[in-house]
Structure 1
Amino acid sequence: MPAATRPEIDATLALRRRGLTLALLTITYFFSYMDRQILAILLELIKADLKLDDTQLGLLSGLAFALFYAVLGIPVARLADRTSRRDIIAVSLAIWSAMTAACGLAQNFVQLLLARIGVGIGEAGSSPPSHSIIADLYPPEKRAGAMAIYSLGVVLGAGVGTFIGGTVAHAYGWRAAMLAIGLPGVALAIIVRMFVVEPKRGLSDVQRVEDQQPVPSLGQGFASLWRNAAAVHLVMGVTITSLVGYATTGWGPSYMQRSLGLSLLDVSLYVAPIGTLLGAASAVFGGRLADRLAARHGIHVQSWVVMGMKALAVPLVVAFILVDDPLLAIACYWASLLFANSYLGPSFALIQGLAPLRLRALWAAITLLVINLLGLGLGPMLVGIVSDALRPSMGADSLRYALLAVYALTPLALFHYWRAGVLLKRAG
């Protein structure tokens, strides 16, 4: 698209308003994750109302959403590399918010499945263009911190969604909770369209991208990422981490209710708010620590920061899953969140820093394609399948051991982050 027809604004104004833009993109991501994860706190109510098994719940929580979300992210990213990223985000926000509300109208599994697919279709247009805008507004030395702020949408969305969804569902039912979570996003879409800036591509990089340069093809985009070994290891690390994280987040509230004896309100009013604050602190601290250590020792350290923080969380998560005492289990869960949510900002900042300027949205979409097909798509569904398979022998504890089985993949993620750091150090 010719530069004259792009809705880009003056560089000075774009940089002056980058804080507002980052805030609005973070709020949009917050709504995205809230709408995506609202199902977690409602699973037990939906299971009883629609007479579903754990495999069906896992499909609703994971693959039904992830397949369309991930696959459609690629063409959306190609569009974002050519035209207004701001407009794509606003339209997508309106779509997924409306479809979340539509989930509350579903009368059976198929209808709820179709509505969840609609949420996935809408959310496909959010993260790739957002990553691209943030990378253009913040230079490499500040990018991990900015991405960490953006990643707060994950932590806050899951926590606030659990709080609002659980309390509304307790009083009015799970359908009302879906409506309460979904409808406000339509109004937010208008605000995003009005106030998010569309910066010049490559604005904050020493090298500037020229408008007349052709956008590389889709195949060139995939090939360029595949040729970068550090990027491949980063994608694998964040994918396995996300698989484990989506499995734990998606089934955590159900596990707390089934195996620890907590009520819906206990999870919503007490566990979720504290967990949200701790997870948010982890995300911000992880990004800032990665930026500070990278400035002192080199950009490769960011990958090792993620590895170290995730390693510290391992024994705490295992204790949360295996301990029978509810208070001790929840304490371990809260403590794990101080470390577990530190990976998103540095991971995506490193990938965006390695990406060619005209391929940032596409590299983000490729990363999200892998993350969501394997992570979000398989994580919750694997837990559901294993839980159903173990139920005849394990009874009510089948979910506990299904979560533990999936969490056992974590050491693979640690290896990939270590290897990415090694390769980045050699290159840098």
Structure 2
Amino acid sequence: MTNPATTHETLIAETDTSQPFPKAIVSWGIVAAFFIAYIFSFIDRMIIGLLVESIKEDLVLTDTQIGLLQGLAFAIFYTVAGIPIGRLIDRAPRMKIVALGIAVWSIMTAICAGVSNFWQFFVARMGVGVGEAVLSPAAYSVISDSFPKNKIGLPMGVYGLGSAIGAGLAFMLGAVVVAAVSNAGQTSLPILGEVKAWQIAFLVAGIPGLLVALMFLFLPEPKRRFTAAEAETKEPVPLSKVVDHMQENRVFFWSLFVGVGAVNLSVLGSISWLPAMLMRTFEMEMVHAGWFAGAMLIIGGLIGLIGGGALMDRIGGGTPAVRLKFCGWSALIGSIGALIFPITGSIPLLAVSFVLFFSAAAVAVGAAPSTIQQLAPNRMRATISAAYVFAVNAIGLGLGPTLTAWIGDTFFPFESGIRYAIVIVAVSGYLIGALLFYVAAKSLKTKKL
């Protein structure tokens, strides 16, 4: 069978104006599909954050073990599988790969409902990570083939918004399920028998994702767009060439990857424990904590990803250097919110400062992929994006939730101690990120990209 990623029919030179980008309705329809998938991705990834107390009680776990389930277990295969999956996305039909990935993570999320100990849970969460490793590299590749390079900030921001809405809906959905099951009393299901509210929450989060996977089987595969020079070569770029390209531009790539990773560490180290902090510090009921945390995430994501993405497309012509400097300033401003929201005793001030904190992170989450797609050669995009996903999540997802829990268990071993762990992680990550965004922007003056 002919590889559709390497036939002449799919090789479109970006300089060839006779080959326009897809119609707006098609391009934005594709963005909408990936946006929906990203929502489901983050629901499955983050719902455990609301259910911390229930899972700890039923499975007799510590905060550090919960942190491992939220972070390291998920990140191991999410990061390790990312590079080979990125290579596959650069060569094969992307929509079918996405459909398979969604199906895998949805099934593994549902399997989490049947675990009875820490290690079973750990393995199930690893499976969720394998499936989700597909989505972002494919989305970045497809979206960048659907819009002009200087106009991808907004569509990337819309896609990235799925993470904020998904995380917010994870907490809200969990709250709804917990309330419904609590009101219904004892619940029994086939195979599983009597189940607790947290188990039903995983089933409700996972099973509908199979419908999203089915949707991607019927979506059109956008044609890959190449420069005239790239279009002359049919063969896929060897991995060694990708490594050489990144090595030649190592200051840029390392600064960007680690900078976003540091911001991601702050965010995931905070939101993974946000509902628990609200319940422990302010004695909120789980349902109220879920709705409150979810609403703050969605509002902050809207401001940072949509507002920030649109603004960066307009400032300085949407150039990579401008995007990176914008990220640096956003991280500095967001560090103020990071300092305030974990330790304030005022609910209104917590809400305002958390939205400031999270919207600043959302700017970086939307801008970094846009910058990579602007600069990376087409045949390297998914592989470089996978390397980006690997680095960002190894740092943020692999370390954030667990580091926060470890600091809390070790230095603040009391009921509300998690709030002090959050403030340490949140502020430190943002300041490191701001510095590295500036270094990345400065490196573009001598780039070989």
Shared fold (TM-score, shorter chain, > 0.5)? yes
Residues 1:194 and 2:218 are matched in the alignment: yes
Q: With structure 1 as the length reference, what TM-score do the two structures score?
A: 0.93
Residues 1:132 and 2:149 are matched in the alignment: no
Q: CA deviation at 1:215?
A: 1.8
What is the aligned-residue identity percentage? 32
Of the three residues 424, 428, 447, the one matched with 1:405 is 424
Alignment-mate amino acid for residue 79 of structure 2: A
Residues 1:344 and 2:365 are matched in the alignment: yes
User: Greater shift after overlay, 360-369 or 287-296?
Assistant: 287-296
Q: CA deviation at 1:208?
A: 6.3
Aligned residues: 422
Output the CA distance in 2 between the equivalents of 1:355 and 1:273. 35
Name structure 1 gaps, 5 residues minimum: none
Any idea what the Cα deviations from partners look like across 1:134-161, whole Å, max 9, x if unmatched?
1111111111222111101111100011
Aligned partner of 1:221 in structure 2 is 242
More helix by share: 1
Are residues 304 and 12 of structure 1, via their aligned partners in 2, closer, same or farther at CA, if it must alter by over 3 Å?
closer
Output the CA distance in 2 between the equivalents of 1:74 and 1:274. 33
Aligned partner of 2:321 in structure 1 is 300
Any idea what the Cα deviations from partners look like across 1:250-293, whole Å, max 9, x if unmatched?
11111111123222111222342243133222210111111101
Residues 1:150 and 2:159 are matched in the alignment: yes
Q: Are the aligned partners of 1:31 and 1:157 in contact in 2 as well (CA < 8 Å)?
A: yes
Output the CA distance in 2 between the equivalents of 1:13 and 1:353. 16
Of the three residues 332, 357, 367, the one matched with 2:353 is 332
Are residues 397 and 226 of structure 1, via their aligned partners in 2, closer, same or farther at CA, if it must alter by over 3 Å?
farther
Alignment-mate amino acid for residue 237 of structure 1: G
Aligned partner of 1:256 in structure 2 is 278
Aligned partner of 1:419 in structure 2 is 439
Name structure 2 gaps, 5 residues minimum: 13-18, 182-196
Q: Are the aligned partners of 2:296 and 2:351 in contact in 1 as well (CA < 8 Å)?
A: no
Aligned pairs (5 A) from 1:259-408: 259-295=281-317, 298-392=319-413, 395-407=414-426, 408=428
Output the CA distance in 2 between the equivalents of 1:157 and 1:177. 14
Q: Are the aligned partners of 2:44 and 2:206 in contact in 1 as well (CA < 8 Å)?
A: yes
Alignment-mate amino acid for residue 198 of structure 1: E
Q: CA deviation at 1:5?
A: 7.9
Aligned pairs (5 A) from 1:93-112: 93-112=102-121
Output the CA distance in 2 between the equivalents of 1:413 and 1:160. 27
Alignment-mate amino acid for residue 382 of structure 1: L
Are residues 287 and 207 of structure 1, via their aligned partners in 2, closer, same or farther at CA, if it must alter by over 3 Å?
farther
Q: Are the aligned partners of 1:202 and 1:209 in contact in 2 as well (CA < 8 Å)?
A: no
Q: With structure 2 as the length reference, what TM-score do the two structures score?
A: 0.88
Any idea what the Cα deviations from partners look like across 1:94-138, whole Å, max 9, x if unmatched?
110111111111122122111111101111111111111111111
Any idea what the Cα deviations from partners look like across 1:33-80, whole Å, max 9, x if unmatched?
111111111111111111100110010000000010111011111111
Output the CA distance in 1 between the equivalents of 2:420 and 2:295. 26
Any idea what the Cα deviations from partners look like across 1:300-338, whole Å, max 9, x if unmatched?
111111111221111122111121233432332234334
Q: CA deviation at 1:363?
A: 0.3
Are residues 409 and 19 of structure 1, via their aligned partners in 2, closer, same or farther at CA, if it must alter by over 3 Å?
closer
2:223 aligns to what SS in structure 1?
Answer: coil
Q: CA deviation at 1:13?
A: 8.3
